[in-house]
Amino acid sequence: MLEGVVKIPRGRFSAAGEAVRRGRILRAQGRRRQAAEAFLEALALCPRETDAYWHNTALNELEITEGAAELESKPRSLNMVLSNRCNIECVMCSVWDNPWEMPERALREVSELFPTLGRLMWQGGEVFMSPRFEPLFDLAAAHLNLQQHITTNGLLFSRSLARKIIRSNSALILSIDGATKTTYERVRKKGRFERLLEGIRLLNEARDERAAASAGAPVYPLTMNVTIMRSNYRELERFAEFAHEHRFQTLQINPVDTSGPEDIFRCRDREALPFIEEAVPRMKERAARLGLILHVWLPSSRSPELIREPKPGIEKLEEPKAASSQAVPAFANEIGCFWPWQDLWIDQGGRVRPHCFCGWDIGNVKDDSLMALWNNETMQGYRRRLHANAAAGWCSNRCVEGAILKEALGLDG
């Protein structure tokens, strides 16, 4: 599941924050020395003891600028799966059939990171099925710089849960893989379309209450996420209408990542892929007309490798070589992606990667502590490759070829 570019306002911004922002701009202009000076200025403004969040942010930006492989700074973004529990049984997913719970030790480690985290992304299974969610959500909500992003199927909202979440510093991403009742219920087995619509109605009611209570505040961000697969690719254009009708601001379109009957990308389906390539431009036009923000993260049918098969284990990385004129395609940016410096993506079963686009795991929370994973050999290998602009052939083609927005590669944030 992908979620990367929802924008919501920060709880606090400080002089250190201004210096960090200046440093990022300077680094993007290639003025690394001045950028490093700005980050050092930010560090001096926010000692760790009094402002853990900005101290860690400034230190992390400095380490990115220096291309450090082993980091003193801690992760700034975390994807979290509490369990595989789910209330539905989607056709393209087997998570619901594999019981798994996040170990208690890892939960403690996660909550220890709250003071320095800027973003916490909750995913499932279905996140609201876990009794551990609400206590952890409340604990995280006490940290004003921490934005929580919740991905849910939207079928379990009560009025009180909708209100609680909409009133917090958070954003919601609803996974909706059918624009019609027939398709929705075919894909989301045990899910009822009417219950989904009721959940969305409760959310919009709570959004209206929040807007009425705080005139001038930004609209609470609501994103719709669609996984495109065999059962729903013909509805591509209808998703834009559905999103608009139900007051979503953003629509994200992702490819299914499976080898099963719903696969159309790994098997390069000869009917589905040309259909999609023709439908996407029409969908973009329609979304623009409706004022929807649309992100289409579907691989091109011309990609040599549409979706990378997950790697079964961790392999020792070769030392990255500096980019050469033959190293094409290469990222357009000096460092193509910041996720290995910023993010830990804990997935179902405790697998950990730098981000969801990444094909190679760095380890598993059942074997290692989060901080050991953060700086292990594989994670450092990601950083070294990216810093040497030698990630082509290792990183996902979708990232390298520019199919992913730079904001979704951690480059703006």
Least distance to ligand SF4, CB of residue 374, Å: 14
Least distance to ligand SF4, CB of residue 221, Å: 22
Stretch 338-357: interaction string toward ligand SF4, x if CB under 6 A: -xx-------------xx-x
Among 224, 243, 337, 362, binds ligand SF4 (CB under 6 A): 337
Q: Which stretch binds ligand SF4 (CB under 6 A): 24-32, 38-46, 274-282, 395-403?
A: 395-403
Least distance to ligand SF4, CB of residue 20, Å: 21
**What does the block give as tokens for 58?**
């400034």
Least distance to ligand SF4, CB of residue 386, Å: 6
Torsion of the alpha carbons at 288, 294, 295 and 296, rounded to the nearest 10? -70
Least distance to ligand SF4, CB of residue 359, Å: 6
Sign of CA dihedral 184, 231, 249, 147: positive
Q: Which is nearer to ligand SF4, 176 or 399 (CB)?
A: 399
Q: Which is nearer to ligand SF4, 203 or 337 (CB)?
A: 337
Q: Which is nearer to ligand SF4, 286 or 387 (CB)?
A: 387
Q: Which is nearer to ligand SF4, 116 or 389 (CB)?
A: 389
Q: How many residues touch ligand SF4 (CB under 6 A)?
A: 14
Would you count residue 399 as binding ligand SF4 (CB under 6 A)? yes
Q: Which stretch binds ligand SF4 (CB under 6 A): 73-81, 174-182, 255-263, 389-397?
A: 389-397
Q: Which is nearer to ligand SF4, 183 or 333 (CB)?
A: 333
Would you count residue 69 as binding ligand SF4 (CB under 6 A)? no
Least distance to ligand SF4, CB of residue 396, Å: 4
Would you count residue 391 as binding ligand SF4 (CB under 6 A)? yes
Q: How far is CA 278 from CA 55, 236, 266, 273, in A?
A: 48, 10, 19, 9
Least distance to ligand SF4, CB of residue 71, Å: 15
Q: Which of residues 355-384 bind ligand SF4 (CB under 6 A)?
A: 355, 357-358, 382
Would you count residue 409 as binding ligand SF4 (CB under 6 A)? yes
Q: Which is nearer to ligand SF4, 173 or 395 (CB)?
A: 395
Q: Which of residues 317-336 bind ligand SF4 (CB under 6 A)?
A: 336
Give the separation between CA 206 and CA 163, rounded to whole angstroms: 5
Would you count residue 199 as binding ligand SF4 (CB under 6 A)? no
Least distance to ligand SF4, CB of residue 218, Å: 28
Among 130, 147, 223, 396, binds ligand SF4 (CB under 6 A): 396
Give the pairing of strands 188-189 and 89-90: antiparallel
Least distance to ligand SF4, CB of residue 360, Å: 8
Would you count residue 93 as binding ligand SF4 (CB under 6 A)? no
Three-state SS string across the chain, please? CCCCCCCCCCCCCCHHHHHHHHHHHHHHCCCHHHHHHHHHHHHHHCCCCCCHHHHHHHHHHHHHHHCCCCCCCCCCEEEEECECCCCCEECCCCHHHCCCECCHHHHHHHHHHHHHCCEEEEECCCHHHCCCHHHHHHHHHCCCCCEEEEEECCCCCCHHHHHHHHCCCEEEEEECCCCCHHHHHHHEECCCHHHHHHHHHHHHHHHHHHHHHCCCCCCCCEEEEEEECCCCHHHHHHHHHHHHHCCCCEEEEEECCCCCCCCCCCCCCCCHHHHHHHHHHHHHHHHHHHCCEEEECCCCCCCCCCCCCCCCCCCCCCCCCCCCCCCCCCCCCCCCCCHHHHEEEECHHHEEECCCCCCCCCEECCCCCHHHHHCCHHHHHHHHHHHCCCCCCCCCHHHHCCCCCHHHHCCCC
Stretch 246-285: interaction string toward ligand SF4, x if CB under 6 A: ----------------------------------------
Would you count residue 106 as binding ligand SF4 (CB under 6 A)? no
Q: Which residues contact 413 (CB under 8 A, 6 or more apart)?
A: 118, 407
Site of interaction with ligand SF4 (CB under 6 A): 336-337, 339-340, 354-355, 357-358, 382, 391, 395-396, 399, 409
